[in-house]
Structure 1
Amino acid sequence: MPVPTSTRAAVLVDHGKPLHLTELPLPAEVEPGAALVRVSCATLCGTDVEIWSGKMSFPGMLPMVLGHEMVGEVVAVGPGTRDALGRDVPVGARIGWSESTCGECYGCTVLREPVACSRRGYGFLQRSDVHPYATAGLSEYAYVVPGAAKLLLPEDLPDTWAAMAGCAAKTVLRAFQNVGGVTPGSRVVVQGSGALGLFATAVAHISGAGKVITVGAPASRLTLAGRFGADATVDISLGSDGIVEGVRELTGGHGADLVMDFAGAPSVGREAVAMAAQRGRVVIVGTTGPDSAPLPLGTVMGKELTVVGSLNGDIADYHRAIEFFGAFGERMPWHDLFGTPVGLSAASDRIEAMHRLDEVKAVVDPRLP
């Protein structure tokens, strides 16, 4: 099979507008350590929706190909291409990959934290009009750069689960690790009922929480939260005071031992601190915007709270997410998180559906019409 020199892709040209189906060039040569992959599945993330809508934007980012949770079949490799565990990546292998890191900066070498890399590169941050053009998920073929951490995937792991492991699942698992995990029998509040919040609800339940409370909307997602281990839910239509009061009632007036933000709304920090129990823990994951949000530091001090930030995840978290699905694949209805796969021509419709909260996690298979 000849190596393709171009690829069909759905390109974001203007925020909030339909994606533009077009043909993009591919690099003429596959560099050492790189791979060219035919994408078989891309699962859309909340970040994709925020970029599409313009909520997350910066000068010069467009045009771009969205999608940073994806898997595919290798069609060409450069010399010496190996995965993160040192295994050769052959043509025909199914792989997933994480964002690229430089391996040379302070974050990489001194902190030894890939998430702190000063040149960390996501596929969706690559402009589609400059080399290497197509590095993200909403493209028939994607160029996986040498610095991107790659993983050979288990044969029995569904594409959707493997793709979700590349961002949503690894982000959640890193947050649990950074905050110190779940104390068996403790009370856990998950703020947010999107894909991250629902996955976190399941992880808290599996980890032995005594009571898991999911805060979010709409009602359909709160119902879904129950299927993923939530013992109770609180609808955000109650407003900030009502949310906090609802959690306190559900916890016998004590509040939550662990509060996890996967929502990112301006009121989330204040609510998290208010609903936390004495000496509780709060982990902030979903607050991604540049706007400052008030946090009542007097309450943090008075309750002796521990507040932790957690940023996305790295290749280690990605590997753990894949192993998590392998270990707990039968424990939860994971397939309920995903929509019906569509081709690139319907990707715009699915992004808009996620923006309306009509779909938890859209699935795009670029091989479909």
Structure 2
Amino acid sequence: MTIPLSTRAAVLTAHGEALSLQEVPLPTTVEPGAAIVRLTCTTLCGTDIEIWSGTMTFPGMLPMILGHEMVGEIVALGEGTSDALGRALHVGDRIGWSESTCGECFGCTVLRQPVACSKRGYGFLQRSDVAPFATAGLAEYAYVTPGAAKLLLPTEVKDTWASMAGCAAKTVLRAFDRAGGVRPGSRVVVQGSGALGIFATAVAHLSGAGTVITVGAPADRLAAARRFGADAVVDIADGSEESVRRVLELTDGQGADLILDLAGAPSVGPEAVAMAAQRGTFVVVGSTGPVGDPIALSTIMGKELTVVGSLNGDIADYYRAIEFFRSFAGRLPWDELFSEPVGLSHASAKVAAMSTFGEIKAVIDPRLA
């Protein structure tokens, strides 16, 4: 078995600056349960942009390789490596994978919730100058650790779809699950018109919502939301009060039965509570960054609202996201979410474009120049 000993990668060395193309080491041996893959597709996520800009940071995280939505072909395997469903893996197989978990902590064993793992490991939590060096997406090769839950991918699910399933899509599907699903004919508001918001709009539409309203900006994103199932859109450029007024108007004064925060702006909490119908549900998914504006607890009490937090997703959500794309492949124009793929040398430009809302979902194919 020939094991690559290094990989070309786009490395983040300072927040807000261009990524540096470097040759990064790979482990010289592949542990049991691990794999080395040649990456064929990485889709950039909002979290990548937050890390790049410094909005999301912590001491000692740099240098690092961005990218946690990716697909690759196995080039080397450790002994006994299988996927999450127990299927044996082989060199040449196309796989995706979820972040690593330890299987031993309170979150893993008592709560049985991988998202609560105290040692949960994303590719972007791995310094590129510390073994195993390259576990993320903006590289030619990645080391998939033994604790990462791997999935053998069905051929009919495209690389871009499978990559997006690795974070954005699984995060949205978990949020709907945490909310108890969509009641047929109900009124759903999606706060946010980025990749997650547009995908959530599609999920609400396909799940039988009677009215789907996407609240966000800019105009081209709202136009995309309409193509993915929004019955109406509300531009946040008009301000919070006007956004709430429009949602109430569009719901005959009743408000929304289900509201999903996929925007993370400070104002989403008060807006959601104001837009909610009596006994509605508000799912907080996108608020990973700034501290939110105060919410009136008396309104939550008076409306008897259910407020639910939802954190990313685990291997079960990832599997369901893959199956979602397989089941609904022809129902909506999924390919419109993705830009034309470019090589690692253009990764910095794609990060910058996404930071200014120039693209919904940038695609990097490390095999390209």
What's the TM-score once normalised by structure 1's chain length? Answer: 0.99
Q: How do 1:357-368 residues align onto structure 2 when only pairs under 5 Å count?
A: 357-368=357-368
State the AA in 2 paired with 1:219: A
Q: Go from structure 1 to structure 2 and tell me whether the alpha carbon gap of 1:290 and 1:239 turns closer, same or farther (over 3 Å shift).
A: closer
Q: CA deviation at 1:294?
A: 1.3
Cα offsets for 1:261-296 (capped at 9, x unmatched): 000000000100000011111000000126354121
2:187 corresponding residue in structure 1: 187
Q: Secondary structure at the match of 1:49?
A: helix
Q: CA deviation at 1:223?
A: 0.4
1:73 corresponding residue in structure 2: 73
**CA distance, structure 2, for counterparts of residue 292 and residue 248 of structure 1:** 22
Q: CA deviation at 1:366?
A: 0.4
Q: Is residue 42–residue 364 contact of structure 2 (8 Å, CA) maintained in 1?
A: yes
State the AA in 2 paired with 1:298: S
Structure 2: 5+ residue stretches without partners? none
1:40 paired with 2:40, answer: yes
2:152 corresponding residue in structure 1: 152
1:334 paired with 2:334, answer: yes
1:228 paired with 2:228, answer: yes
1:351 paired with 2:329, answer: no
2:318 corresponding residue in structure 1: 318
* Deviant stretches of 4+, over 6 Å: none
**CA distance, structure 2, for counterparts of residue 195 and residue 159 of structure 1:** 16
Q: Secondary structure at the match of 1:3?
A: coil
1:175 corresponding residue in structure 2: 175
**CA distance, structure 1, for counterparts of residue 220 and residue 130 of structure 2:** 42
State the AA in 1 paired with 2:20: H
**CA distance, structure 2, for counterparts of residue 2 and residue 127 of structure 1:** 25
What's the TM-score once normalised by structure 2's chain length? Answer: 0.99
2:247 corresponding residue in structure 1: 247
How big is the alpha-carbon RMSD for the aligned residues of Structure 1 and Structure 2? 0.8
State the AA in 2 paired with 1:288: T
Q: Is residue 2–residue 76 contact of structure 2 (8 Å, CA) maintained in 1?
A: no
State the AA in 2 paired with 1:9: A
1:61 corresponding residue in structure 2: 61
Q: CA deviation at 1:47?
A: 0.2
Q: How do 1:56-205 residues align onto structure 2 when only pairs under 5 Å count?
A: 56-205=56-205
**CA distance, structure 2, for counterparts of residue 347 and residue 275 of structure 1:** 39
2:23 corresponding residue in structure 1: 23
2:271 corresponding residue in structure 1: 271
